[in-house]
């Protein structure tokens, strides 16, 4: 009986609810929307779990093709252990966001690997076994509160017990996340590292301290060398070797000393055997002059480097006594004694951007900026058998200055006064490809090395059909000061790139070794977006400033010469005083002109910034709102027209006749 009453009560409740909803269509619509919303969420959680839609401007959560190629090429399983102290980091909003980004990227890689990558997410709670494992594997703990530390790193292993770690995902390297992860997979997925041979007169592996600092355990290798050592097996080639070993996959010539015939022949035959070369030469190497422990350059340094014999066969030449000066791409340096200008353009140091890179070449296609100094100009020679492809050039506002003048240490302003645009743009780096004949047509040289060895004539090769060579006319490219901001975080030394010098070198070496998979991964950082109009205003005003300054000097010299003439001619004291007064008035007027130029510069920049600010704050919202109103008005007109055409709207005359 109670069951029957309960069913009758439930039926009456449903009938009343249905009747009420039918009388209230808006309420019924809301309920239906709620049901649809819940249903869609349940459906998406089940059916669209692996679906992804990346709406970020630069595709921050989309794997590049290079990463997909790397994971597709894995032939043995790789295990990744992501250590993240989730509970302790709960009160660190920035850390939580970054950790979620790392986790999302790791999950994307895991899904793309089709079972070849296993991901373990571990929360190393304090005093747990997981924390002991994190410490034992070399992860770095970051203190966040008294007595509390956070682990935020990654450990990767393969079947042969090779281990790669990221001790801590530093915020400064968040733009290089995919590159760091893909590099770990790439290193774990290959049985052995390729070998890069090096011939150099720069202290790449010891830093400014040289071999003595290395013997004391105090060496600080160039950060670009550390990047190479992480990716490749490096082998320095002795100066008088008679043959480059066959295990060398590519050869790096980094500002070498003048080559002997034996060494030049060894490099020549390496190219004839199909070996790949990347050479950095320089008309004036500033990095070689870096002071060592005793305050002087390291013993045996060389200010210039060139490969005239080999380069002639490769099909190019460098004007060894000329240095490029670039007005448009000049780097900003301290202005010196001029208190009114904190910075000024130093036209011998260049910050080159995408417009100076060859976008069609895999080495430079994703380079945003290169910082170089006192670079030379390359040119193809007549009758060359190779194809000369510029990779890096100067801007179209560049000229050449003699090395002797540069060595006289002129001021930045003096350089700009002497500057004259030449046949710009000039080629700074180039790729040479195609057939090459040996530079030793008569066979190997007869000279012996220090061990009494000679090159074997039986192994002499006269040509190659597919040379692949990259030449870069600058060695300051390697200097840490030019391209990286060195950081030391919790005892971990790492560099935060401010330019893509390291990226260029890695791109070039990997390309020459035949691997392009990682090249696309290191261009994910956000490209700098400078206010180009403001920069143009500043440069124009500074040019006016220099002109005014030059006029000031000329006016002062003229006034001083006139004063000296009056004194020498025995003019009256009153006349000399009058000339001195005129001199002081001239000086005051010129200085007012200088201040006016600087004041106009500031006003122009502030006015432009104000216009940009108002455009973003007011104009754009007004335009969007106006567009929305126009669309709403058009929709309303269309709806009214449709209703009237269907007889749903009756005009006033018809209504009055109907009422009568």
Encode pLDDT of 94-143 as tens digits.
888 889 889 989 999 999 888 899 999 999 988 889 999 999 998 988 88
Q: Which residue has the higher pLDDT, 221 or 174?
A: 221
189-193, 195-199, 557-561, 619-623: lowest mean pLDDT where? 557-561
Burial class (CB in 10 A: 0-12, 13-18, 19+), 445: middle
Closest CA to 594 of 420, 413, 419: 413
655 pLDDT exceeds 50?
A: no
| Domain 65-182 belongs in CATH node 3.90.180.10 | no
Pairing relationship of beta strands 78-84 and 117-122 according to DSSP bridges: parallel
State how far the Cα of 329 lies from the Cα of 346, in Å rounded to an integer: 9
Q: What are the DSSP E strand ranges found in 224-364? A: 233-236, 250-254, 276-280, 316-318, 322-326, 330-334, 343-352
Question: What is the value of pTM for the model shown?
Answer: 0.60
379-393, 410-424, 481-495, 553-567: lowest mean pLDDT where? 553-567
pLDDT in tens, 260-314: 999 999 999 999 999 999 999 999 999 988 876 666 777 778 899 999 999 999 9
Closest CA to 475 of 195, 635, 310, 253: 253
pLDDT in tens, 41-96: 777 666 655 566 665 655 566 788 888 888 888 888 999 999 999 888 888 888 88
User: What pLDDT score was predicted for residue 271?
Assistant: 95
User: Which tokens is 301 given?
Assistant: 């340094």
| 522-526, long-range: CB < 8 A, 24+ apart | 522/176, 522/179, 522/366, 523/365, 523/366, 523/367, 523/368, 524/58, 524/60, 524/64, 524/175, 524/176, 524/177, 524/178, 524/179, 525/175, 525/176, 525/368, 525/497, 526/58, 526/175
For the chain, what are the domain ranges?
7-47, 65-182, 194-529, 534-618
3-state secondary structure of 168: coil
326 pLDDT exceeds 80?
A: yes
Closest CA to 243 of 461, 471, 465, 433: 461
191-195, 211-215, 561-565: lowest mean pLDDT where? 211-215
553 pLDDT exceeds 70?
A: no
Determine the distance from the C-alpha atom of residue 76 to the mean position of all C-alpha atoms in its chain, rounded to a whole number. Answer: 32
530 pLDDT exceeds 60?
A: no
Query: pLDDT grade, residue 24 (50/70/90)?
Result: low
User: What pLDDT score was predicted for residue 657?
Assistant: 47
The phi and psi torsions of 260 (rounded to 5 degrees) equal -75, 165
User: What pLDDT score was predicted for residue 382?
Assistant: 92
pLDDT in tens, 347-363: 999 999 999 999 888 88
């Amino acid at each position: 009986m109670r069951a029957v009453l309960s069913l009758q009560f439930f039926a009456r409740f449903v009938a009343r609810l249905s009747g009420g909803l039918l009388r209230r269509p808006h309420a019924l619509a809301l309920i239906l929307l709620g049901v649809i919303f819940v249903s869609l969420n349940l459906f998406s959680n089940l059916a669209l779990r692996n679906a992804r839609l990346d709406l970020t401007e630069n595709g921050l959560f989309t794997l590049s093709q290079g990463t997909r190629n790397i994971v597709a090429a894995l032939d043995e399983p790789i295990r990744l252990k992501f250590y993240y102290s989730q509970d302790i980091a709960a009160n660190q909003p920035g850390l939580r966001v970054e950790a979620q980004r790392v986790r999302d990227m790791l999950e994307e890689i895991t899904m793309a690997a089709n079972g070849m990558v296993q991901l373990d997410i571990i929360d190393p709670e304090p005093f747990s076994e997981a924390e002991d494992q994190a410490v034992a594997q070399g992860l770095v703990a970051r203190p966040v509160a008294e007595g509390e530390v956070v682990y935020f790193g990654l450990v990767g292993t393969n079947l042969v017990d090779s281990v790669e770690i990221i001790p801590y995902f530093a915020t400064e390297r968040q733009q290089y996340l995919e590159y760091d992860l893909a590099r770990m997979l790439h290193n774990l997925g290959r049985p052995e590292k390729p070998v890069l041979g090096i011939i150099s007169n720069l202290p790449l592996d010891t830093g400014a301290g040289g071999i003595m600092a290395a013997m004391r355990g105090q060496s600080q290798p160039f950060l670009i060398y550390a990047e190479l050592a992480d990716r490749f097996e490096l082998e320095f080639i002795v100066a008088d070797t008679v043959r480059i070993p066959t295990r060398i996959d590519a050869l790096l010539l980094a500002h070498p000393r003048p080559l002997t015939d034996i060494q030049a022949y060894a490099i020549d035959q390496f190219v004839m055997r199909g070996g790949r070369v990347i050479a950095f030469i320089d008309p004036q190497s500033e990095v070689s002059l870096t002071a060592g422990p005793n305050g002087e350059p390291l013993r045996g340094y060389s200010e210039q480097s060139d490969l005239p014999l080999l380069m002639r066969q490769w099909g190019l030449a460098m004007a060894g006594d000329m240095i490029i000066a670039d007005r448009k791409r000049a780097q900003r340096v301290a202005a010196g004694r001029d208190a009114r200008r904190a910075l000024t353009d130093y036209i011998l140091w260049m910050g080159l951007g995408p417009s100076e890179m060859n976008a069609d070449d895999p080495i430079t296609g994703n380079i945003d900026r290169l910082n170089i100094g006192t670079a030379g100009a390359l040119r193809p020679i007549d009758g060359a058998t190779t194809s000369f492809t510029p990779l890096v050039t100067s801007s179209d506002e560049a000229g050449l200055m003699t090395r002797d003048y540069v060595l006289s240490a002129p001021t930045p302003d003096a350089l700009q006064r002497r500057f004259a645009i030449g046949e710009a743009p000039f080629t700074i780096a180039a790729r040479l490809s195609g057939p090459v004949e040996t530079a030793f047509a008569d066979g190997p040289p007869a000279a012996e090395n220090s061990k009494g060895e000679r090159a074997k004539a039986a192994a002499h090769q006269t040509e190659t059909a597919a040379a692949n060579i990259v030449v870069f006319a600058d060695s300051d490219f390697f200097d840490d000061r030019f391209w990286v901001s060195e950081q030391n975080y919790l005892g971990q030394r790492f560099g935060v790139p401010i330019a893509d010098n390291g990226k260029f070198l890695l791109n070039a070496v990997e390309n020459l070794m035949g691997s392009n998979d990682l090249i696309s991964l290191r261009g994910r950082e956000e490209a700098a977006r400078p206010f180009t109009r403001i920069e143009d205003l500043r440069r124009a005003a500074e040019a006016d400033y220099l002109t005014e300054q030059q006029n000031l000097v000329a006016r002062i010299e003229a006034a001083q010469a006139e004063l000296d003439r009056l004194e020498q001619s025995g003019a009256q004291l009153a006349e000399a005083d009058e000339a001195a007064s005129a001199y002081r008035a001239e000086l005051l007027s010129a200085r007012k002109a200088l201040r006016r130029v600087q004041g106009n510069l500031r006003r122009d920049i502030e006015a432009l910034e104000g216009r940009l600010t108002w455009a973003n704050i007011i104009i754009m919202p007004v335009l969007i709102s106006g567009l929305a109103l126009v669309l709403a008005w058009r929709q309303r007109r269309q709806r009214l027209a449709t209703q009237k055409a269907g007889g749903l709207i009756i005009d006033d005359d018809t209504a009055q006749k109907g009422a009568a």
